[in-house]
Structure 1
């Protein structure tokens, strides 16, 4: 488990925090893939009802300007264009009857659409 001090330093580096639950889920998914060269890339792209949408995917690439942080053995990559939109965001994983999947709590989002898939 990553100590709170290390998580704070890594949060400052990428601007985001990956919870322990989300890190565990990412590890499990990577184990299913059977690859150790993949990182979780978090990006903000134009689209959706509100103008911007999150993208989370596994990526082996490293792009110029990427910021990489390690959360308990899970590398999270944020590109330089997405970083300002994600500063202070927390990525978690919900596995409940009313919600399942990765969630992003972003203090920079001024609003979101009804489906919760995009923000502005």
Structure 2
């Protein structure tokens, strides 16, 4: 596991491998995995994790396992120390975000504060 110095976010090997597999499947070479924080949800803030071809002013990026991870400058303070992982178990499948900055979350786990 490698921590990105610029973004403050860690992308685990499992998450990087899954993101790379999805990008390779689409044949997309110009996309980055973007994580951001936006207002929303019952707890106040919601994560957005998606592939993006845009480059925004102030973006911070790091490369993990051939995948470019991008964080916009407004989201960096909210995501400092966060870990993005990929779970593939009976109980859970998909990308997960463990964020030490989140002081609480809603009952459904869709948003945080």
- TM-score where L is the length of structure 1: 0.91
CA distance in 2, matches of 1:98, 1:21: 17
Q: What are the ranges of 5 or more consecutive residues in structure 1 without an aligned counterpart?
A: none
The CA RMSD measured in Å over matched residues stands at 0.9
Instruction: Name 1:28's counterpart in structure 2.
Output: 21
CA distance in 1, matches of 2:76, 2:7: 7
Aligned length, in residue pairs: 113
Which of 42, 46, 54 aligns to 2:47? It is: 54
Which of 68, 75, 78 aligns to 1:85? It is: 78
CA offsets, 1:57-97, max 9 Å, x none? Answer: 00011110000100121100000000000000000000111
Shift in Å at residue 13 of structure 1? 1.0
Q: What SS is found at the alignment partner of 1:64?
A: coil
CA distance in 2, matches of 1:35, 1:72: 15
CA distance in 2, matches of 1:12, 1:36: 23
Spell out structure 1 runs of 4+ moving beyond 6 A.
none
Structure whose residues are more often helix by fraction: 1
